[in-house]
Amino acid sequence: MKFFIDTADIDEVRKAADIGILDGVTTNPSLVADSGRKLKDVVLDICEIVDGPVSVEVTATDREGMLEEAREFATWADNTVIKVPLTPAGLSACHTLAGEGIDCNVTLCFSANQALLAARAGARFISPFIGRLDDIGQRGMGLIEDIVQMYSNYDYIDTEVLAASIRHPRHVTESALAGADVATIPADVIDQLFQHPKTDQGLQKFLDDWNASEANSG
């Protein structure tokens, strides 16, 4: 499973890239607004760090407005991917953009039927929102499982399942077990993936034993 980071914070992108685990980045208007910077500046800085897909979301809600924004975003860097909402206008824009060779990430997916529609429209990625379904008492991971299973039934579907709205490390584990192609993960959850008390205890014991050995040898 590929790892994307869900952020518009350049320092967070750089940190994940330096570790060597980063395959791409997803942004959204809320994340960009939180950064306090202009969208184009954020995207260009990210694309200097990351070779993989960088998702940039349209803010227009009508087809023509989405197409205008998307075509502009696509000129910024070769690895930009256009995020469009899972609405009739969004899927229509996705279909047109796919025909022009512009990759799309269809976002705000909450049902398997929506995911089928996105695949038919030519989406490169479909983004089911796990955490937001959990928030309303539904099992978000069940949606990932359903989409992965459905897509696997058809050789001609090459849309990648991108697990989104990830809230904790277990979401990452379950996404991988379910066969998601990608997980887009907030920086704080990426940090948690490294953490286990036995790792810290083991490292401290190795260091203590080494220091004791050095002291005795002196």
Task: Return the active site residues.
Answer: 83
Give whole-number Cα distances, 210 to 182, 203, 204, 214, 218, in Å: 40, 11, 10, 6, 12
At residue 77's C-alpha, the angle toward residues 71 and 81, to 5°, is: 60
The answer to whether the beta carbons of residues 177 and 167 sit under 8 Å apart is no
